[in-house]
Chain A
Amino acid sequence: MNVKNIIKRKVEAFVRQSAWFTEEMFPDCQKFWRHNTFNLDVVNLGSTSGVYAFNYESLPLKGANFALRRNPLFADLQILKNYESFLKPNATVILPLCPFSSLSGSYQYLEDRFYTLIYPNCIPCFSKKKQQQIIKIKNNPIHYYPLYGLEKDIIDFLKDKLGVKKQDALMTEYDMEQNAINRMNGWFKEFSLKDFSMPLSLINQDGIIDAANYLNEIIVFCKVRGFRPVMIIPPVYNTLSAHISVDARKILFDQMILKIEDKSVPFINYLDDDEFKNDKSLFKDSFLLNDKGARKFTKRVLSDLKLI
């Protein structure tokens, strides 16, 4: 191999590790591209909270975290349809729900990264041209790398190589409170909410109906194929759970769960679980678990489901 090719390969490896590639273009995709473990005992779907809530490493069963950040319920169904061949018969399918999952039930838009993950038939308004464009970026990222990220990526790369990369520091109680407020403000803005004591807007009512429909579809899909679906709500830190009022819980959780047709599907709510909600060392922020929290929570869920 000549020097030019060696340099090209090194640069390409660098680009593939860049924030642009791993966080902007194809977040959480690498695990699907590389996945080759069959006969899985348990998988979880889900969105951002699911990504951070599960880690099956070092457990006495085969598990996979199939959650993706910013993943609508519609995409959960598509991921399950595309990757069900990896599951063994009687596998458990965990469906983690975020506090506001129900309101985003109507989201159908799938980001460009899905062109690298799922079959065309599963992508609404699939475009062959778009697919070719995205696959080109995936296969030759070096041709598309934006220079604006170069300086930061070089610094991160060097820090990583020198082993001086800063670990996520634990947030202070004040930070946790501020983070919870910011999270709630963000969701209130996203869903045009003012107060949960008021009737929900029509669009949010539709969201709950659509969310329940997708969950029903996922449950039927699982049951027909002999999988065991389980709905759960991962824990959040107490500063955030304190902001989710009784009225909010009735609307966000109870209304949706009431619409689930198969009442035999377990629903486990860990939102306020004492084992987690007061232990800051388990959280990345008020909403997401960190690696330690994910390992502990995964063990807890699997134990509750009597899988370990």
Chain B
Amino acid sequence: MALQNAKGQDIPFIGLGTFPFEGEVMANMINNAVIAGYKLFDTADDYRGESGIGIALKNLPLGFNREDLFLQTKISDNNAHKDDPLTGIFFNKNSKFMQRHTVHEIVHEKVCNSLREMNIDYIDSLLIHYPFPDYMVDIWEELIDLKQRGIVRYIGVSNFHECHIDKLIHSTGVCPDINEIYVSPIAIKQSMVEYCKLHDIHIMAYSPLMDLASRRINSNMLQPIADKYGKTIAQIILRWNVERNCIPLPKSKNPNRLIENYNIWNFSLTPEEVNNISSLNYDYQYLVESKICPGI
């Protein structure tokens, strides 16, 4: 399943989150996911998983090739792992490294690394991982250039608020194709959903099932809906995302769970059910964004 935006571009309706899997574990997961029907795989340059995707691409199941997949990575500040030796180096005004090198050089190096690690010659989607306060516009200009040169098909952002996207549009005139954010029945981000619809930006929802796994979502309300359609609560939440035009990126390395999460296309929720699920919202915040990107 893929959806088209006004620009006629196609992006799969569901994807697979891949953090923190690495190496052979990642490769096996990708291959199982491809067989299950997934095409979109989400990673980042600091997740340490890109080389695992590269291994998977060398051994894709029969009948599949790279062009069938939609690979998404990000430009990060190397903060995903606590032991990353490059923490504090990138997109930090105070670091000597940033005083010596241009954003162009850094983005170029990061993109080259991603291409090499994943063993590919183009990236389907490249996002700015966080709205790095002093650098987001410079990075965005580099992404626009990469798209124009055909190295990247779609460019977008992640964890951006409306004001950050406004800043990019105001500075460059170019609107992101994608904004990857945390969306959940307890954090529905309605204003962002409406903003993105207005600007024809695809929302991707990372960790869409996390709040279910951690029992933050009250499943009593969802169980009758799940029973009605003969689905699991996880499938109901994923479908709720799809109904709201959010592309869910659930994560699982369990082959059965991969199939279950993908199997959400043979039913749809009524608008009333979508609203009922949305009513669980209390603006919960999972990540303290400003602790990961100060000044956000």
Contacts and interface: CB of A to CB of B under 8 A. Distances in A.
Contacts of A85: 285, 288-291, 296
A13 B293 CA distance: 32
Contacts of A146: none
Given A126-B94, A128-B87, A82 B285 contact: no
Contacts of B283: 38-39
A78 B291 CA distance: 10
Interface of B is mostly: loop
Contacts of B254: none
**7 closest residue pairs by CB, A with B:** A120-B88, A121-B92, A81-B294, A85-B290, A126-B88, A81-B295, A84-B290
Nearest to A117: B291
A140 B221 CA distance: 43
B218 interface: no
Given A81-B294, A119-B291, 20 more contacts: A38-B283, A78-B294, A81-B290, A81-B295, A83-B288, A83-B290, A84-B290, A84-B296, A85-B285, A85-B290, A86-B288, A118-B294, A119-B294, A121-B94, A124-B94, A126-B88, A126-B94, A128-B85, A131-B87, A131-B88
B91 interface: yes
Contacts of B93: 121
Interface string A204-229: 00000000000000000100000000
Nearest to B290: A85
A86 B294 CA distance: 12
Contacts of A221: 295
A78 B92 CA distance: 13
Interface of A: 38-39, 78, 81-86, 118-126, 128, 131-132, 135, 221
A122 B285 CA distance: 23
27 contacts: A38-B283, A81-B290, A81-B295, A82-B291, A82-B294, A83-B288, A83-B291, A84-B295, A84-B296, A85-B296, A86-B290, A118-B294, A119-B292, A119-B293, A120-B87, A120-B88, A121-B77, A121-B93, A121-B94, A121-B95, A126-B88, A126-B95, A128-B87, A128-B88, A131-B87, A132-B83, A221-B295
B288 to A, nearest CB: 5
A83 B294 CA distance: 8
Counting chain B CB atoms within 10 Å of each CB, which of A84, A124, A221 scores highest? A84
B189 to A, nearest CB: 14
Contact of A121 (B284, B285, B288, B294): B294
Contacts of B296: 84-85
Nearest to B96: A125
A122 B291 CA distance: 10
Contacts of A83: 288, 290-291
Interface in B273-294: 283-285, 288-294
Contacts of B294: 78, 81-82, 118-119, 121-122
A38 B285 CA distance: 8
A124 B95 CA distance: 8
A132 B93 CA distance: 21
Interface in B54-96: 77, 82-83, 85, 87-88, 91-95
A132 B88 CA distance: 13
A6 to B, nearest CB: 28
Interface string B87-130: 11001111100000000000000000000000000000000000
